[in-house]
Amino acid sequence: MAVTEHTGTRVKTRVPALSLRNVEKAFGQVTALSCVNLDAQVGEIHFVVGDNGAGKSTTLKILAGMHTADAGEISLNGTPVHFADASDAKAQGIAVVHQNLALVECLDVATNMSLGAIPKRGFMLDRKAMEREAEAVLSDLKVRVGSVRTQIGLLSGGERQIVAIARAVRMNLPIILLDEPTAALGVRETAHVGEILQELRRKGKTVICISHDLDFVFKLADKVTVMRLGKSVATLTADQARHDLVVGLITGSIDAAQIEKRSHD
Ligand SMILES: Nc1ncnc2c1ncn2[C@@H]1O[C@H](COP(=O)(O)OP(=O)(O)OP(=O)(O)O)[C@@H](O)[C@H]1O
Ligand SMILES: [Mg+2]
C-alpha cells in the first residue's frame, strides 16, 4: 500500500494547486504545528482529519492568511507564496469558511453574503444587486432560507452554516477551505453540503475540508490527510482510506511509517 508518509520530500509528479512543506507554528510556549505537509490538487476534495487540538484549524488559518507560519513553505501551483493577512490570501485565490462562522447576526442574509465584496453603484451600496446576487448563489446551491432579507440571527444553526458556505462559494476562487462545515448540521443538510463540495470539485476547485465526521469524509474524499499532535502523519487516497486505518492513524495506534514498511515487505 503506497501511503504517503510525511517526510518533507517532494514526491508528487503533478504540481499541486496548493502545497504545504514542513510548516511549523507556536503560540508562545504551545507548539500547535511541528511539521505539516499537504498537497492538494485541482478538482480534489482533500479532507484533513485528526483529534481535538491536532492542529487542523491552525493549519487552515495559516492557509487563510490569519496566522503566519514560523517556518516552512506554502506554494500555489508550484510557486512559493506569502500571505500578509486574510485579504491577501483571498486576493491570491483562497476562500474560507471558518469553524466559528463569522457571520454578523444583526445583518440579513444578503448583506452577510456580500461582506468583503459589497456591490456598489458609485459610492452607494447597490442593495438590489446585492440581493440579486445572493439569491442567484443560493438558488444555484439549492439553498432555501426564505428571504435574503432575513436576519442571520433568526436562522437555525444549520441554515447559517449553509449561508456561510454560500458566501465562500460566491467568491468563486480556485481554492476553498472549510473548517468543520457539517458540525452543526442534520442528516439532510450534511448531504446538501456534500453535494455542494462535489459541485465545487466538478468545477475544478481545490477543496480542503476539516471534518470529524468520518462517514462524510469517506463518502466524498479524494484524499485524506491525518494530523496528530501538530504533525501531518499520512495522506491516504480514497481507496486506501479505510475506517480502521484512519482511526488508528488519528489515535496513534497505527504508525504511518510501519504501514509504509509493511507495504514494501
Ligand atoms: N491563538 C492561539 N493561541 C494559543 N494556542 C492556540 C491558538 N490557536 C490554537 N492553539 C493551540 O494549538 C493547538 C492546535 O489547535 P487547533 O485549533 O489547530 O486544533 P484543531 O485540530 O483544530 O482542534 P479541534 O478539532 O478541537 O477544532 C491546540 O493545543 C490549541 O490550544
Ligand atoms: Mg479546529
- Give pTM, 2 decimals: 0.87
CATH topology for 24-93+175-254 is Rossmann fold (3.40.50)
Per-residue pLDDT of the chain (265 residues; tens, 9 = 90+): 445 555 555 444 689 999 999 999 999 999 999 999 999 999 999 999 999 999 999 999 999 999 999 999 999 999 999 999 999 999 999 999 887 666 777 788 888 888 767 777 777 778 888 888 888 888 877 777 778 888 888 877 777 888 888 888 888 999 999 999 888 788 888 888 999 999 999 999 999 999 999 999 999 999 999 999 999 999 999 999 899 999 999 999 998 887 665 555 5
Alpha-carbon span 219 to 18, nearest angstrom: 22
Burial of residue 80, with CB atoms counted within 10 A of its CB: 0-12 exposed, 13-18 middle, 19 or more buried: exposed
Exposed e or buried b per residue across 175-209, where buried means at least 16 C-beta atoms within 10 angstroms of its C-beta: bbbbbbbbeebeeebbebbbebbeebbeeebbbbb
According to CATH, where is 3.40.50.300 located in the chain? 24-93+175-254
Alpha-carbon span 252 to 255, nearest angstrom: 6
The cell numbers describing 160, all together, are 447559517
Q: Tell the residue nearest (CA) to atom 17 of ligand 1.
A: 57
List all residues whose CB is within 6 A of at least one atom of ligand 1: 27, 30, 32, 50, 52-58, 99
The residue to which cell 503533478 is assigned: 14
Task: Report residue 101: phi and psi, to 5°.
Answer: -55, -25
Q: Tell the residue nearest (CA) to atom 2 of ligand 1.
A: 27
Sign of CA dihedral 256, 261, 262, 264: positive
